[in-house]
Amino acid sequence: MRKFAYTLDMDVDTDFLSRFIGTNIKITTINRCFQGKLIHIDAARAIILINVKDLSTGKALPGAKLFFGRVILKVETEPSDHLTQEQHEPESGNTLSQDDVKQALEPQEVDATAPPKMKESVKRIINCTVEDEGINYILIDQFQPIFGPAIRHLQNQKVLSLAAVALNVSRNGKLCCLQVASKSCVYIFDILLLGPRVFKNGLQMVLEDKGILKVVHDCRWLGNFLFHQYSVVLTNVFDTQVADVYLFSMETGGFLPNNTSTVMECLTRYLNMSSSQVSFLMYKQSLVKDNPNIWCDRPLPTAALKLLSLEVNHLLALRLAMLDSLLADYTLLVDGYLNAYCQGTSDVFLSTESTSSELPKELQQLCVLQQRRKEKALKEYQVNSQGFLIRDEM
């Protein structure tokens, strides 16, 4: 049976559009055109697509995308072969007026203060060249159909990374989005739309699971948010900011730095990322500077979502690099043990029984190493009044 395209303008309701779930559709918004597979229409008259392609640029967009009714101008469908033309044509007695369709397509609650056009700062972000690293991210702003599978996937992981954005980073602030990344996917949970139920319905179980390591950069404020607003106790955390201070202490023979490092500084220092590779974090700062309420705007621009996913995704690689550095001294001592046994003379061990009361000379080398590092640090760094080393800004 011949396929045909039917344009859903201002005379067809969302019940009619639900017949096309599982098929490809084209959506025209106030800014551009997209094409993808329709998987859901929620109660708020929003549409979710997967396998999305931006027809304006020709680029494929990772993850699932949600389109709010108020920004949709037109929907075009390509029905399946098994559907007849009569099934797709609306009955004359059910034709809706333009006002009826406007009410059906728009969300029930609309922020009247929201600007009608995308902010200029967001446009600049979209025009900036952000290296495409193939990050597969999924925006979750409703409980069906993606939330359940996402939670099950996260529960089966051994290591996750976390990040978040908020309005007013304090105990009384507003958590806007929580990003959770596994090795294969980044989930962006829209806390503003999902509400506290997002934690009770499974996310709290993941965050409190002692068998899942959570990688976070500066867990203090996020832990503060989760505990005091949602009664969530974040457990089993690897904090990359703490690891950076500890590694500095190792490298300088016991000195502490005068300040902590940002995510951008850690990525540059431990992953050797270039300035262009970490520039997305500068773009994020620019977004917030131009619009402090950017994370409360809905829908969030695609560029902003990508920035959030990139940040949390890099934390996984950052942890592995830090672990290698954290174990450097330990590995050095073990190598000393091996060399003493393999290259030493026959009288290295006076008996087959270990003498636990004496510290082997191979392990005593750690003190020598630390002293050398301390002397080197005093030559390379200035010391402030508190006895901390003044670390150069990157």
Residue 23, pLDDT score: 83
Predicted confidence (pLDDT) at residue 112 exceeds the cutoff of 80: no
Predicted confidence (pLDDT) at residue 116 exceeds the cutoff of 70: no
Task: Say if residue 162 is exposed, middle or buried (CB neighbours under 10 Å; 0-12, 13-18, 19+).
Answer: buried
What is the 3-state composition of the chain as percent helix, strand, coil, each rounded to the nearest 5?
40, 20, 40
Q: Residue 16: what are its φ and ψ, rounded to 5°?
A: -65, -40
* Residue 210 or 79, more confident: 210
Least confident segment among 114-128, 223-237, 336-350 = 114-128
Tokens of 271: 């992953």
Instruction: Say if CB 11 and CB 90 are below 8 A apart.
Output: yes
Residue 266, pLDDT score: 96
Domain boundaries defined on the chain: 6-85+101-105, 120-326
DSSP secondary structure, 80-145, as one string = -TTS-HHHHSPPGGGPPPHHHHHHHHS-SS--TTS-SS--HHHHHHHHS--------EEEE-SSTT
- Which SS3 state, helix, strand or coil, does residue 247 take? helix
39-48 pLDDT tens trace: 777 655 567 7
Residue 176, pLDDT score: 93
Residue 260, pLDDT score: 94
Predicted confidence (pLDDT) at residue 117 exceeds the cutoff of 50: no
Tokens of 46: 């929003």
193-239 pLDDT tens trace: 899 999 999 999 999 999 999 999 999 999 998 999 999 999 999 99
239-263 pLDDT tens trace: 999 999 999 999 999 999 999 999 9
* Residue 115 or 360, more confident: 360
Residue 44, pLDDT score: 53
Residue 179, pLDDT score: 97
Average pLDDT over residues 280-289: 86
Whole-number average pLDDT of the chain: 78
* Residue 35 or 121, more confident: 35
Classify domain 120-326 by CATH number: 3.30.420.10
Classify domain 6-85+101-105 by CATH number: 2.30.30.100
In whole angstroms, what separates CA 43 from the centre of its chain?
27
